Every structure is written in C-alpha cells, then in structure tokens.
Amino acid sequence: MVDILEGQRVLAFDLETTGVSTNNDRIVQIALIGADAEGRAVHYDVLVNPQRPIPMGASRVHGIYASDVKGEPVFKHYAVELFELMDGAVIVGHNARRFDMPLLENEYYRCGMVPPKPLVVLDTLEAVRRLKISRPHNLGAQCAQHGIDLSNAHNAAADAAACLLLLWKIMRDHPSSFRRSLIEIEEWLIHGDARKDESELGRSLSDLDSFDTKGRIRVDNGVYIVAFGRHRGKDVVTVAKEDPRYFDWLLSPNGIEDEDARTKLADYISSVRDW
C-alpha cells in the first residue's frame, strides 16, 4: 500500500446528510482525513448549513440537528477549498462512488461550479464485495470484523478515519489483489477481473504490437491504443481530449514506466493536437 500511494494526496472522505437521495438531499457535514503528497496530515471536518430542515430520522443517525448548523456557512463557502483538496487526489470511502461523490457533485452543480475530479476513488464497500469478505458489508460491521474501533459511528470524521484504516487492513490481508496501478485497482473494484479483450477496432489488444516495454500502449496502423485501466481500448488522442488529467498521469512514471515511450507519446500528441 505504501508503494502504491507514495507521492499521492490520499484522503478518506465521508459525508453526513439530510437523507439518502443523491439528487435531492443536502450535506450537513464533510470530512476529509489523510495526508497530502508530502505526507503532511490533512484533517478537514466542517459543518454545513443545508438551507433546509434536517429530518429527525437523519438527525437520530448522525446526531446533527438543525440548531447545530443554523449558524454555519452554506456549501458554496467551502466549495473552492474542497476542490483544491479533492481534485486529483486518491479518495477513499465506503460506498463513496455511489453515494458521497454523486451527492457532492450535485452540490457543486447547484452552485454553478465544476466538481473536483479525483485521480481515483478506492471504495472499501466495493473492495469487500469484490474480495467476497463475509457479510455484513456496512462500515460498522467491517470495522468490527477487522478490529477497528468505530465507537463514534456516523460522525463523518470518525467514519472517514475508520474507512482509511479499513482499506489499509484489506490491502494488507489481500496483497495480490492490489499489486497493480491505482488506475487498475479502481478498474478492478468497479468491473472485476473479467474484461473484454476486444477493442472497438475489432481486434484483440494482445494481438497488437506493444509501444512501451510493459504493453500498456499498443499500436494499430499508427494509432496508439490504451491497453489497460478505465480507458482501455481507446486511442490516446481521444483520451487526451476527454480526460486530460488521466492523460497527464499516463505520461508520468506511474502511468508509463518506459521514459522513451513517454517522450514519443508526448511528441505525438503535440503534433496532432488540434483542440
């Protein structure tokens, strides 16, 4: 885990909210717990005025009542600093991909702002399901099963910290599943190991010539094809246009280890760039 995350901003992320609808409910607490790329501790924990009543059922779960947030800033007050923390970071969360991240994104859209785009989301709920770890799969049960104290459950900061420790223990106990790049780990968490080996070009990627020493980029009649990760099967020009942050990562030693291949690929994109 140390090698995979070295040099990355790694932040466990959790929200407390007015309810469970990612489209309609609002945030009342945000927590980010972890470290920046230099290893300095990050502890970000704020209350948010949701600008609406907090249902009693939700308050009973997380212990945050309307009176607690009445004088707190609204979400827009935190939006810029949150973006700076989360954009390009490794985000760790339990059910974060389906709940916390979509709800956060909708808060940004309400403000007319672009939401942060993490480098990857490492979702511990997906991990315990992918690894077929015994149920229940909720955070509290998994923490108990892995010997993690979560006495202050449903507080965003406590849940985030526990989630980060849970990820560490899962990676420690199942090292072979995490011996891949961060992008590949995220792909595995979402889709598993069963992958179509056919690109949209109709040819097997393994049949194409390797561009770099590890075969992460393949060549088909002068077209460079990504052969791994979330953009598997796409040509690099499309990737550079649609996901420039990912393409920048691809041109780093963490993406393509072969320095000569990285240089050639950067030169190629520069020569065809017309957007």
Kindly state whether residues 69 and 166 are assigned to the same domain.
yes
Rounded to whole angstroms, the Cα distance separating 32 from 42 reads: 7
Kindly state whether residues 136 and 7 are assigned to the same domain.
yes
Q: Assign 153 a pLDDT band (cuts: 50, 70, 90).
A: confident
pLDDT in tens, 171-199: 999 999 999 999 999 999 998 875 444 44
pLDDT in tens, 35-92: 999 999 999 999 999 999 999 999 999 999 999 999 999 999 999 999 999 999 999 9
CATH number, domain of 99, equals 3.30.420.10
pLDDT at 121 over 50: yes
Kindly state whether residues 220 and 141 are assigned to the same domain.
no
Residue predicted with more confidence, 200 or 5: 5
Quote the number of domains for the chain.
Answer: 2
Per the structure, the complete domain to which residue 221 belongs is given by: 205-272
Kindly state whether residues 209 and 186 are assigned to the same domain.
no
Kindly state whether residues 101 and 220 are assigned to the same domain.
no
CA 60 to chain centre: 29
3-state per-residue secondary structure call for the chain? CHHHHCCCCEEEEEEEECCCCCCCCCEEEEEEEEECCCCCEEEEEEECECCCCCCHHHHHHHCCCHHHHCCCCEHHHHHHHHHHHHCCCEEEECCHHHHHHHHHHHHHHHCCCCCCCCCEEEEHHHHHHHCCCCCCCCHHHHHHHCCCCCCCCCCHHHHHHHHHHHHHHHHHHCHHHHCCCHHHHHHHHHHCCCCCCECCCCCEHHHCEECCCCCCEEEECCEEEECCHHHCCCEHHHHHHHCHHHHHHHCCCCCCCCHHHHHHHHHHHHHHCCC
- Over range 108-137, report the average pLDDT: 96
pLDDT at 26 over 80: yes
Amino acid 117: pLDDT = 96
pLDDT at 93 over 60: yes
Q: Evaluate if pTM is beyond 0.85.
A: no
